[in-house]
């Protein structure tokens, strides 16, 4: 008897719903800051409208709307099951500024009331067919407000190529399973079997493959189903991605990931790329390859992009926060312990003093202009520390979020055992139950 083969045409999002989580990079304040620092549109944070495409169970929008009740949020998803879950959670929190709509990118034009200041789609672009992708971009082009920001993340070549090979392998190895959940569980089982002999070898590629298979083992069946077993999962070269976006009138502003590729490579490698005389797109692809970067999270706007550099006054009015732990002070030199337990040395006396004062205030900070008499002198250092995730720069302070967090935390803990902070970061459930 032949084994029963899985129907690969079935909609995986209805068969096995994806359990989404808050995505830190999509926070409106984060997108506004990225655009400001890179000379893009200035997003008004007093009042704005947000649309999320592919909102799934609403996990990204629920805390966003909870802490930002002065703004309006809408989520769109094609899965009736996911929209029902999202709407139920919204009703439990009694959120009047959050709406969920069931529909696809072609029908949604008549269901959504634009314009929107922010449109975001995390985990969508690479996972849909070209015609659906183009329909999504047409929707974004029509509904994005002038000066608005579009956030799109996608699987990136060349970094995602190895993971794509793993996906192809698992697709072939699990095709005989009877349903999607069974296929996902089989992926974990096969990955565990593959890892065992790989551990005996120290070849660099073998070790890379072992780490990739280890990722599969540690993921939930829902994640495996949609990352490795979905009918579509396409990775894009930078030039290929931006060529698609340009057809719909979008221009690149910045990367939502502040720890972007250019700061994760050594100066010597950056110099070598310049000597190679590569064009900009090729240099970017080279950096992605060397950093093994599998995902891009660009922020875009309607073209033409009129670059308006962040002024010194705008920069001075930002807030700075730091959780660097002071270790030693010797003369003008201060040593701090960073997020990965690395030691960071600060040779600027006043700079070190300020960082020591900020650490006890975390997560609160202080306006840059109130701390430095000469902001121009330290601006480059602050921007570099931001790119290394050693400090945070913010458009607004946490004190502006005055909504008590307990109901949200209780709901998130019951659903996913997480708690989301006002800054849209995931904390331990017990860490975010008190006042901010």
pLDDT digits 0-9 by tens, 66-80: 999 999 999 999 999
Phi/psi for 394 (5° steps) reads -135, 150
Residue at a domain's end among 199, 228, 257: 228
**CA dihedral in degrees (77, 82, 86, 91; nearest 10)?**
120
One domain, residues 365 and 418:
no
Rg (CA), the chain: 23
One domain, residues 376 and 421:
no
One domain, residues 351 and 408:
no
pLDDT for 284 equals 67
pLDDT for 32 equals 95
Hey, what are 9's tokens? Answer: 């045409």
Answer whether residue 207 is part of any domain.
yes
pLDDT for 258 equals 66
Answer whether residue 409 is part of any domain.
yes
Q: Identify the band that residue 1 occupies on the pLDDT scale cut at 50, 70 and 90.
A: very low
- Mean model confidence pLDDT for the chain: 85
One domain, residues 361 and 427:
no
Dist. CA 418–CA 409, nearest whole Å:
7
Instruction: Give how many domains the chain has, as a whole number.
Output: 3
Dist. CA 294–CA 227, nearest whole Å:
12
Phi/psi for 36 (5° steps) reads -60, -50
CATH code of the domain containing 367: 3.90.930
pLDDT over 50 (residue 233): yes
Answer whether residue 172 is part of any domain.
yes
What pTM was estimated for this model as a whole? 0.88
Q: Identify the band that residue 419 occupies on the pLDDT scale cut at 50, 70 and 90.
A: very high
Answer whether residue 374 is part of any domain.
yes
Dist. CA 316–CA 371, nearest whole Å:
10
One domain, residues 387 and 422:
no
pLDDT for 10 equals 46
Query: CA dist 396 to 148, 242, 298, 317, Å?
Result: 19, 31, 22, 9
Dist. CA 18–CA 207, nearest whole Å:
29
One domain, residues 222 and 178:
yes
Answer whether residue 194 is part of any domain.
yes
Answer whether residue 348 is part of any domain.
yes
Domain that holds residue 408: 399-432
């Amino acid at each position: 008897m032949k084994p029963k083969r899985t129907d690969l045409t079935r909609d995986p999002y209805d068969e096995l719903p994806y359990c989404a989580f808050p995505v830190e990079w999509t926070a409106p304040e984060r997108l506004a800051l990225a655009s400001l620092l890179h000379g893009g549109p200035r997003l008004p944070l007093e009042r704005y409208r947000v649309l999320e495409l592919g909102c799934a169970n609403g996990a990204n929008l629920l805390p966003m709307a909870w802490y930002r009740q002065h703004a309006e949020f809408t989520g769109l998803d094609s899965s009736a099951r996911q929209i029902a879950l999202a709407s139920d959670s919204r009703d439990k929190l009694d959120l009047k500024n959050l709406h969920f709509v069931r529909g696809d990118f072609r029908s949604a034009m008549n269901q959504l009331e634009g314009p929107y200041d922010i449109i975001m789609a995390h985990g969508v672009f690479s996972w849909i067919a070209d015609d659906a992708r183009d329909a999504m971009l047409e929707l974004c082009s029509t509904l994005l407000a002038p000066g608005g920001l579009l956030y799109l993340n996608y699987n990136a070549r060349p970094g995602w190529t190895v993971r794509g090979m793993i996906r192809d392998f698992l697709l072939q190895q699990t095709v005989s399973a009877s349903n999607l959940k069974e296929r996902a569980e089989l992926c974990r089982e096969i990955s565990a079997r593959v890892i065992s002999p790989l551990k005996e070898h120290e070849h660099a590629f073998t070790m890379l493959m072992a780490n990739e298979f280890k990722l599969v083992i540690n993921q939930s069946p829902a994640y495996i189903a949609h990352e490795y077993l979905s009918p579509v999962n396409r990775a894009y070269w930078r030039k290929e991605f931006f060529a698609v976006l340009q057809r719909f009138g979008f221009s690149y502003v910045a990367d939502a990931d502040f720890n972007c590729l250019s700061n994760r490579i050594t100066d010597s490698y950056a110099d070598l790329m310049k000597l190679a005389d590569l064009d900009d797109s090729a240099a970017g692809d080279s950096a992605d390859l060397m950093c093994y970067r599998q995902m891009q999270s660009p922020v875009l706007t309607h073209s033409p992009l009129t670059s308006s550099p962040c002024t010194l006054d705008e920069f001075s009015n930002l807030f700075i926060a730091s959780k660097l732990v002071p270790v030693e002070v010797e003369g003008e030199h201060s040593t701090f312990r960073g997020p990965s337990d690395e030691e960071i040395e600060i040779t600027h006396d006043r700079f070190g003093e300020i960082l020591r004062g900020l650490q006890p205030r975390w997560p609160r900070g202080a306006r840059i202009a109130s701390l430095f008499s000469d902001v121009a002198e330290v601006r480059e250092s602050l921007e570099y520390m931001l790119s290394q995730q050693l400090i945070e720069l913010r458009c607004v302070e946490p004190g502006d979020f005055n909504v008590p967090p307990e109901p949200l935390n209780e709901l998130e803990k019951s659903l996913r055992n997480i708690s989301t902070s006002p800054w849209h970061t995931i904390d331990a459930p017990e860490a975010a139950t008190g006042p901010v």
